[in-house]
Structure 1
Amino acid sequence: MASSGRCLCGQISVTLPQGTFNDKTENVRLCRCNNCRQVAGSLFTYNIVLPKTDVKIQGEPKAYEDKNTDSGNVLLRRFCPNCGSRIYGTNSKHPDKVFVSLGLFDQSPKPSVQLYCKNRPEWDKQIDGCKDFEAMPTQ
């Protein structure tokens, strides 16, 4: 069965392929860059990276073009125009991928990658088995 999530008000829903949270956990990422922290209103964003063709969106998210990024990539951040929930983003460096907000789903897969760990507070400890990067990897 496919995994479905929705924004706080239910105006926008996201459907991911069956097995996404079992088979693709290597694509689950936390990003701690300053822009992601601001947009999340938290210490990080929590996303899964998938091919655009695998993600089905119902509803019309609003977009914000984030050009002032540490990595130099342009991020198109999409959110619900009614409740403000983050829905997904795209990255100019990876135009065929989407970064879906995992806060929309009941499932909470363990992250495999943390980006911008230089911004992690001392009291927020490393996650066992997770690859940490001080900034954005060059790959």
Structure 2
Amino acid sequence: HMSFKQLKAMLNALPVEITLVDEEDINIYFNEGEKVFTRPQVALGRPVYSCHPKRVEPIVRMLISDFKKGKRDSLTILSERSGHPVVISYFALREDGKYLGTLEAVQIIDGLVDAIKNDKKGPIDLK
């Protein structure tokens, strides 16, 4: 069986910024490490909507509403942050069809973009 220490180490080892929002729309987890988007510890225990710019808040509300209603299971957005290409993915978490929360995964993909541009095959550094 996986221990909590192993789970935490696994999540922190991934080259992805992870945020977990519970079924009540409250931020309950951020993994450790460098962040593309600021994630202050004070945001834990607070509504996810308070962490987003006002212009983005309606989109976040609609996405989570769609997740809760089962209209959608995921959404991936290609964006740019500080001159770096970024993929932001949202996933509805469910158990036996019941909505448990939302997982947000953010990843800088400079290495992937470079590999595609240069038609590189084999191992790549995603950073």
For Structure 1 versus Structure 2, the TM-score category normalised by the shorter chain is: under 0.3
TM-score normalised to structure 2 length:
0.26
Q: Which has the higher helix share?
A: 2
